[in-house]
């Protein structure tokens, strides 16, 4: 159970392997992968209110990649 969100900036530093008509560099991508199983890091976010949690990047250098999750039940209100 859960959600997955990826936030990225426009970049030329992308290695593709499929699902695109753009250049695919499979050998570079596979050389970069780590095939050791591990548990995912589960982010819990920082509470900003009763209905809002902030998920911020580990570096304050990129605040534009912060994400706020607001969960509001029917009939409730929340402010960001």
Q: What pLDDT digit, counting tens, does each position of 12-67 carry?
A: 788 888 888 989 999 999 999 988 999 988 889 999 988 899 998 888 888 888 99
For residue 16, what pLDDT is reported?
87
Torsion of CA 9, 13, 17, 22, to 10 degrees: 80
CA distances from 31 to 2, 11, 61 (A): 29, 20, 28
Q: If pLDDT is split at 50, 70 and 90, which confidence band does 1 have?
A: low
Residue 11 has pLDDT above 70, yes or no: yes
Catalytic residue among 16, 53, 68, 69: 16
Residue 16 annotated among the catalytic residues of the structure: yes
Q: What is the per-residue burial (b if ≥16 Cβ within 10 Å, else e) of 43-64? A: eeeeeeeebbbeeeeeeeeeee
pLDDT of residue 59: 81
């Amino acid at each position: 159970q859960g959600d997955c969100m990826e936030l990225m900036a426009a970049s030329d530093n992308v290695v593709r392997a499929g699902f695109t008509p753009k250049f695919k560099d499979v050998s570079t991508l596979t050389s970069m992968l780590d095939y050791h199983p591990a548990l995912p890091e589960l982010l819990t976010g920082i509470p900003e209110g009763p209905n809002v949690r902030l998920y911020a990047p580990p570096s304050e250098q990129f605040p534009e990649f912060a994400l706020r999750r607001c969960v509001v039940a029917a009939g409730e209100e929340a402010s960001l």
